[in-house]
Amino acid sequence: MISLPRATIRLKTETKASRPMQVADAIKGWVVEQGLQAGDRLPGEAELIERFGMAKGTIREAMRILEAQGLITTRTGPGGGSFVHEVSRQRARALLGNYFYFQHLTIADIYQLRRVLEPELAASLAGKLSDSLLQELEANIARYSQPASTLDEEREQHVTSLRFHALLAAQSENALLSFLIDFMVRMLSDLTVYRKLYSPPNLELWSKGRGYQERLVQALRVGDSHAARQIMEAHMNTAQRLMEGQEAAMLRGFISE
């Protein structure tokens, strides 16, 4: 049995934050201190009430704070309670999206990063992808090899072609690189959902982009890291041009999970 702080707990003295916030921070620190892992159970409401010497409502607000940050989940019933939870990628993405809701990001901003990060990703993945994934990538490309006939279809093709990059990002062993590229791709996908871009379509650039993806898969398959990097660089240049002129402010809502 492990002891939470102390009977009448010592929260950070010199209190400025609200009590629920202090409790949440205390629990966070305690989790780290005890080295609790995802899935480990936290003390129940009743126990926390006793340990912290606070009312149920206060404790519950603290739990909501931790839950909102994605750090715990809660279940009712016997054997229920609060459990340490690994912050999910979706949650992290939504939370970070809230930040950029207030910063006016442009498409150019995102591409400034994509232009250097996507080639780096491609180079690092050359020769490391499974056959099944390479086939999945090719299947993805096939879904937009025919010109779109309707505007909806075109929009969906665009989202699908972005999914190509999300698939790649998921393969990186670098969690930071993986998360970031996925994040940017989602931002761009959301854009295509909320706005009707790409009219009139630039068919030439579009087909060129598809060609790059095909060549990229080949380079990845044979493990040619240098070629993969170069192809992706060219691809990003094309994609950026395809997006150009769509500079308007980007996001109109909070990102949902």
Interacting residues toward a copy of itself by CB under 8 A: 18, 20-21, 24-25, 28-29, 32, 38, 57, 60-62, 64-71, 74, 86-87, 89, 91-92, 95-96, 98-105, 109-110, 112-113, 116-117, 120, 124, 174-177, 179-180, 184, 252-254, 256
Q: Which of 204, 233, 228 is nearest to 215 (CA)?
A: 228
Contact criterion met (CB below 8 Å) for 84 and 36: yes
Q: Which one of a copy of itself, DNA, none is in contact with 91 (Cβ closer than 5 to 8 A by kind)?
A: a copy of itself
Q: Which one of DNA, a copy of itself, none is in contact with 102 (Cβ closer than 5 to 8 A by kind)?
A: a copy of itself
Shortest Å, Cβ 40 to a copy of itself:
13
Shortest Å, Cβ 203 to a copy of itself:
30
DSSP state of 128: -
**Cis previous bond, 200, omega within 30:** yes
Among 7, 12, 38, 46, indicate the residue that binds DNA (CB under 7 A). 46
Shortest Å, Cβ 20 to DNA:
5
DSSP bridge pairs for 70: none
CB of 9 or CB of 96, closer to a copy of itself? 96
φ, ψ dihedrals at 253, nearest 5°: -145, 170
DSSP state of 104: -
Regarding 26 and contact with DNA (CB under 7 A), the answer is: no
Q: CA triplet 55, 77, 72: central angle to 5 degrees?
A: 65
Regarding 19 and contact with DNA (CB under 7 A), the answer is: yes
Distances (CA, A) of 18 to 23, 59, 62, 66: 9, 12, 10, 14
73: tokens are: 């989940």
Q: Which one of DNA, a copy of itself, none is in contact with 32 (Cβ closer than 5 to 8 A by kind)?
A: a copy of itself
Shortest Å, Cβ 60 to a copy of itself:
6
Q: Which one of a copy of itself, DNA, none is in contact with 75 (Cβ closer than 5 to 8 A by kind)?
A: DNA
For residue 81, give the H/E element and its range: strand 81-84
